[in-house]
Structure 1
Amino acid sequence: MRLDRVYVDGFKNLKKFEINFDEERLTAVIIGQNGTGKSNLIEAIATVFRDVDLNRKTRFSYEVDYKINGWKVRLTNLQGRASVVVTDKTAAWSGAAVLGRKEFDANKDDYFPALVFGYYSGTSRRLEAIFDDHQKRYYDKIKREDDLDVCRLAEKDRRLFYCRTIHGSFKLLALRAKPDSHQIDATKFLQDKLGITGFHSGLAVLKQPSWFDPSKEGRGRRSFSTLEKQAEALWGALGPAGKFVRSLKEYAFLPMPLQGDEIDDYRKNARKESQFACFIRDGQALANLAGPYDEREFFTALEAVDISDLIRRFEVWVSRRDDESGDVGFGDLSEGERQLLMVLGLIRICRGKNALFLLDEPDTHLNPIWQHTYLDLISEWAALGSDEQDLHIVLTSHNPLTIAALERREVRILSPDKEGRTTSAEPYVDPRGIGFTATLTEIFGLPTTLDTETQELVDQRNTLARVDRRTEAQDARLLQISDKLNRLGFMLEDREPLYQDFLRAWNDVKYANRPPLTPEQAALRARAMRSLISELTSDKSKH
């Protein structure tokens, strides 16, 4: 599925806001100044899909167009009630049909994405909270359910999925445990890109879940023997989580009950907690544990244990290329590596499904090399791990390196108009090929890439250089500034006659402490500069 157009009116600062995407591209990157509404847009899109799926009333006006399975679909409430409008992808909207709710629910797989993923790299729960209802509904259905068909249906109905870093370790286990049956060399990708050469060992410390009722064992304080028995019985866990932890216990090396002192809130004292430790000693034990599952099912089982509140700690150790220690914990990987594994892993479980990824600043913790290749990694992994045409990845970013290799149709810039209303625009130039510095000025709208002090010197030099008849004091000051700039590595452009002509003709020579340019302003400035340079060079050639 691919998003085509989103209209939002009345969600936070998004007023009569419209954005168009190029549905032919796998990724769409949204950039803009802080406060323009990038995160709000991600939240608004997630809210629309949540409310349509759960048949809820949305508190703002919206219209979302996308293509899926050969159909054009429009989710809208602009006529006063929520509607799903469908037509052939090549047909006009004028001949579209409005689906009734029963028809939509009966054919939801045809008209609605199987999975909508959300992720935010920061600490706020604003985006995550939109996914809570789907998470709780899934949890309520599977926590005590042993019928696997019922659990599979519950998994299918959970169309909104919030990504968390622990999912990266789950997916890493699944990739190492299950040889790929689709002839896709995912393990080679992990080795080449992340240096992960194999699985070393793993430890799951399970805990008494919040749903366990200890009062059934009688009143009073439980003895250690009672706590131990309850832990050995894995607190009576049922459903896919119960099935998995019993297998985990079976294949673990010396599984044992523990009593831990845990602090979940620094304002409270440590409390005793019933726990059960399961150590997976090597790759063979992992393969035995994963035996009954395929790759996706193994991930789903691990995630079921997590949302069933059974995990206190989950540690995975891997072997890495050129690491003499022998093993590296997943928690010891950089935050960027863990986030990358999470996103790449979840792309892989989408194989054969229509999925939309809504990622808010997922590149925040990546080093510059990975920021520069982040979208290439996603594209490569999407081709390896899924059907690329079934995916659309919409992400926000503040990083010029992330978009440096993109065409302009893959980028949208949010900026305020004259009335302060947020608008969306395509850059006037492709980021690809213009370099990092030009990306900052021409795409992000920075007036300069220099620090303020240096830019003020350049501004002073340019102001003096454009004066036809300078005083002795002005000449001395210009010489002083030029010498200082030379020591900083700047060329003496002011000695070039053509550059002097440009400065005289170009009135706007001060760039320090200026606000960023909007896409329209950047385009106008570029056109004006090109026109002036063309005029000056033409005049010079005549002489």
Structure 2
Amino acid sequence: MKITKLHIYNYKNLNVELTNTSSIIALIGNNGSGKSNILEAISTIFFHLFQKKEKDIPFNFLIEYKFGGNQTVCIEKKNSTIHFKVDNNPRADIQQFLPKQIVALYSGEENRLWKKSYEPLYMAYVNNINKSETSGLGEYNIVPKMLYINKFYWHISLLCLLISDATDTKTFCEQTLGINKINSIKFDFKTANYANYTNSSVKTFINLIDKKSEYSIDELKKIISECPFPLDEVYKYLYLAFTPDKKKMLENITIKYNDNNLDIEDFSEGEKKMLLIKAALEFAGLEDSLFLLDEPDAHIHLNNKIQIKNVFKEYLDTRQVILTTHSPTLTDTLDEESLFMLNTGNLVHHKKQEILESVSGEFWNKFQQNAFIASKKPIILLVEGKHDKAHIHNAFEALKEDYQQLDFQCFILNGESKIQPFLSGLYESDFYTDKLYVGIYDNDGAGDKSFNNGFEKVKDNFKKLKESNGKENNSYFAIKLPKPNEITCDCTIETLYELERFEEAIQSATKSALGHLKNKSIDDIAKGIKEQAKNILSENSQTFNIEDFKNFRALFDLILEISNHRNSLIKGIKQEKSTQDVPETTKETSAGVEKYIEIYTDRRSTKVNGLYYNDKKVTIQNGSKLSIDVVDSYAQKTVRNKELKKIADLQENCWVLKEDKTFNSVSGAINYATGGNMNGWAHWIIKENKKPLETIREK
């Protein structure tokens, strides 16, 4: 199976149109970007399809995939209409062309997805387990169509890996998990629950292994080899016997290994995650299966992240893997065609990606590029190295009460020579010009040279990028670190601390170096102590007090001065523009001529049209589709529901207004429409220019 197209519209924050050519789809983005929502949306789609309840899917979508080697399956839902096609030919029924298995592997504590999409199918299977034909499962009735695997399946996964004779599985257990000897395997059976599984194949298998509670690995292998079940079915029978709450036939499996009699709790979190991934791919899914992996690299050691792709390799010909990740290391191991950046529920346009790739060169990977694109901060600081970022962050955490006007994020460019070309590339491409970008140079010889190249003076203490081709520049600036009083030497970020703080770090670094100087030159020793001292100072600064950061105030004052300067420039430009830039319309009322702006929102799967008036009132228009559900924190839930029953019609997944309704605030209106709690200025969109209402707030 290989997904070629995936379009999802108005599911939570998603509006995604994805075209794919790879067997791995890696969704990268910050928290809130919509990565996990895509996994939830796919699970929701197939949950309903497997039950033949496709019209109940609460959002529009299109999914197209290759199936059975060469057939193209397309499923599309528009409002209440759904279409099935195979090789472009309409089909009335799609069951035989659905994935053979959906396997979700989740790392966190959140069980919303299990409750919503996986548990209902599982419990339907358990409730029908004694029937000759389990409803909805068709030919593949060994287990439910949708399996959910998390931390509770470590022991099942490990057992099946250990009894496998496959060479790559043995290598995995020895090299990745560090297992060289199995001492014992103990089962805790719940015989009182066996009656729940009368005449089922699950019970048949359990009866084969419950002759005694403890086995050697050879004894267990012998029993498995003589039974009529292949190893992938053994995994699924163990899954079924263990999963159902209060109906378990199997309570636990304890595996002791190696000379010191370790058990599964002695694995690291990363090792546990790796064995779940390996076993799921090896045993849980059939060919033409779909695997959904939420942050599979979480808790895995940096060196082992690279192995994740190697685990996938042998399964990719017949399985589609969709994963989410925060990891730049894992991202770097994947092919470019597998990577998809997400930001606030939308795919980042390739043009933006290409621009950033061209200006960041080789010093930023996809993950770092995505973090830059996804930043919500109005001020972006570009610094030379990792210590600059750490010290500025720690100083701001200590002093932020005095600088509440500042809100910024730091990005590392790995050297002073890259700041000006980076800023220049952003300027030439008009990359997010609504932000302020400030390059920060060390106040030394190298910093001076770069600071004097490509910038023009604005004031004595800061410059802006030189304008070219008549293009205005109000966003790209540069500064040097302000030297503390009485400092005449070169000034790097460490110089902003009092001398005794750096002396403490030097002493600690020197002490650590003693006894490790053999076969090192004086220059190497000095360089090593210097770098170690910088690392120590950076780490120590996390616990410094406010007074230790006093010299950073000059830096934050300077950033604030640039921000105010830029705001005055932009305000002046706005005042020069005619008020005709505001997309106002007029209508005649009994009180005279009234001006308004047409606005809309589609947040939380709504379709709402409105009118914004000069007195900041908002009218939601007749015919708007409002959300049925509301967030828990929405205070007027009861009042809203009672009123909507009078002024709206309840239709499939929405309330449809039968009359206009006016509100005294923009946020009150959007919260009523969406059932959420959000900033109306940010989420009402002006129809004419597709910009947030916030952009005309002052006007």
Give 1:237 deviation, angstroms: 5.4
Shift of 1:376: 2.9
> Do residues 133 (structure 1) and 61 (structure 2) align?
no
Match of 2:184 among 201, 208, 215: 201
- Tell me if structure 1 keeps the 8 A contact 2:328–2:368: no
1:316 corresponds in structure 2 to: 255
Alignment partner, residue 502 of structure 1: none
User: 1:61 corresponds to which residue?
Assistant: 60
- What's 1:303 paired with? 239
SS at match of 1:393: strand
Unaligned runs of 5+ in 2: 397-438, 462-480, 496-501, 503-529, 535-557, 564-699
Q: Is the 8 A contact 2:20 2:337 kept in 1?
A: yes
Task: Name the counterpart of 1:243.
Answer: 204
**Residues 364-513 of structure 1: pairs in structure 2 closer than 5 A:** 364-379=298-313, 383=314, 386=315, 388-416=316-344, 422-426=346-350, 427-428=353-354, 438-439=365-366, 441-445=368-372, 450-454=388-392, 459=440, 461=442, 465-466=451-452, 479=488, 482-485=491-494
Q: Secondary structure at the match of 2:128?
A: helix
SS in 2 for 1:243: helix
Counterpart CA distance in 2 for 1:246 and 1:315 is 18
Bigger mean CA deviation after superposition, 40-49 or 160-169:
160-169
Shift of 1:122: 0.9
Contact 1:119 1:164 survives alignment (8 Å): yes
Q: In 2, are the aligned partners of 1:244 and 1:305 still within 8 Å (CA)?
A: no
Cα distance per residue 1:68-113 (max 9 Å; x no partner): 22122111111632221221xxxxxxxx221002xx33xx1xx221
CA distance in 1, matches of 2:232, 2:31: 38
Deviation at 1:476, TM superposition (A): 6.9
Structure 2 CA distance for aligned equivalents of residues 236 and 86 of structure 1: 38
Kindly state the Cα deviation for residue 397 of structure 1 after the two structures are TM-superposed. Answer: 0.9
Letter in 2 for 1:459: I
Task: Give the deviation of 1:20 after TM superposition.
Answer: 1.8
Q: Distance in 1 between matches of 2:390 and 2:28?
A: 23
CA offset at residue 356 of structure 1? 0.9
* Distance in 1, Cα, partners of 2:490 & 2:13: 45
**Secondary structure in 2 matching 1:20:** strand
Residues 35 and 484 of structure 1, relative CA distance in 2, 3 Å threshold: closer
Contact 1:168 1:345 in 2 (8 A): no
Matching residue's letter, 1:336: G
Give the distance between the partners of 2:210 and 2:275, measured in 1 at CA: 26
CA distance in 1 between counterparts of 2:157 and 2:330 reads: 24
The answer to whether the Cα contact below 8 Å between 1:407 and 1:430 also exists between their aligned partners in 2 is no
Note closer, same or farther for the CA distance 1:350–1:61 as it changes in structure 2 (3 Å cut): same
Preserved CA contact (<8 Å) 1:404 1:436 = no
Partner of 2:422: none
> Given residue 453 of structure 1, which amino acid in structure 2 is its aligned partner?
H
RMSD: 3.8
Question: Identity over aligned residues, as a percent?
Answer: 16
Query: Equivalent residue for 1:177?
Result: 163
Pair 1:314–1:352, CA change in 2 (3 A): closer
| TM-score of the pair, normalised by structure 1 | 0.65
Distance 1:47 1:125, change over 3 A: same
Gaps of 5+ in 1: 88-95, 213-232, 253-277, 491-508, 515-543
Q: Does the alignment pair 1:31 with 2:14? A: no
Partner residue of 1:120 out of 93, 103, 106: 106
| 1:6 to 2:6 alignment | yes
CA distance in 2, matches of 1:355, 1:158: 13
Letter in 1 for 2:111: R
TM-superposed CA distance for 1:317, in Å, is 2.4
Structure 2 residue identity aligned to 1:18: V
SS of aligned partner of 2:13: coil
- 8 Å contact 1:75–1:85 — kept in the other structure? yes
TM-score, normalising length from structure 2?
A: 0.52
Q: Output the amino acid matched with 1:240.
A: S
What one-letter code is carried by the residue in structure 2 that aligns with 1:48?
I
Residue 245 of structure 1 aligns to which amino acid in structure 2? I
User: What amino acid is the match of 2:223?
Assistant: N
Q: Distance in 1 between matches of 2:278 and 2:288?
A: 16
**In 1, are the aligned partners of 2:64 and 2:74 still within 8 Å (CA)?**
yes
Q: Report the CA distance shift for 1:451/1:100 in structure 2 as closer, same or farther (over 3 A).
A: same
- Does the C-alpha gap of structure 1 residues 245 and 152 become closer, same or farther in structure 2, counting only changes over 3 Å? farther
Structure 2 letter corresponding to 1:22:
N
Aligned-pair CA distance for 1:42: 0.8
Kindly name which structure, 1 or 2, has the bigger radius of gyration based on alpha carbons.
2
Q: Distance in 2 between matches of 1:54 and 1:163?
A: 21
**Matched residue type, 2:178:** G
- Aligned partner of residue 124 in structure 1, secondary structure: coil
Other-structure match for 2:693: none
SS at match of 1:155: coil
The one of 38, 42, 48 aligned to 1:45? 42
Encode CA deviations 1:8-43: one digit per residue, 9 max, x unaligned: 2221112xx1232432x2212111121121111110
CA distance in 2, matches of 1:192, 1:120: 24
Cα deviation code 1:195-246 (max 9, x no counterpart): 223433112212366xx5xxxxxxxxxxxxxxxxxxxx88885422322332
How has the CA–CA distance of structure 1 residues 393 and 117 changed in structure 2, closer, same or farther, with 3 Å as cutoff? same
Work out whether 1:187 is the aligned partner of 2:187.
no
Deviations 1:279-313 (A, max 9, x none): 22442244325530321122122122113522332
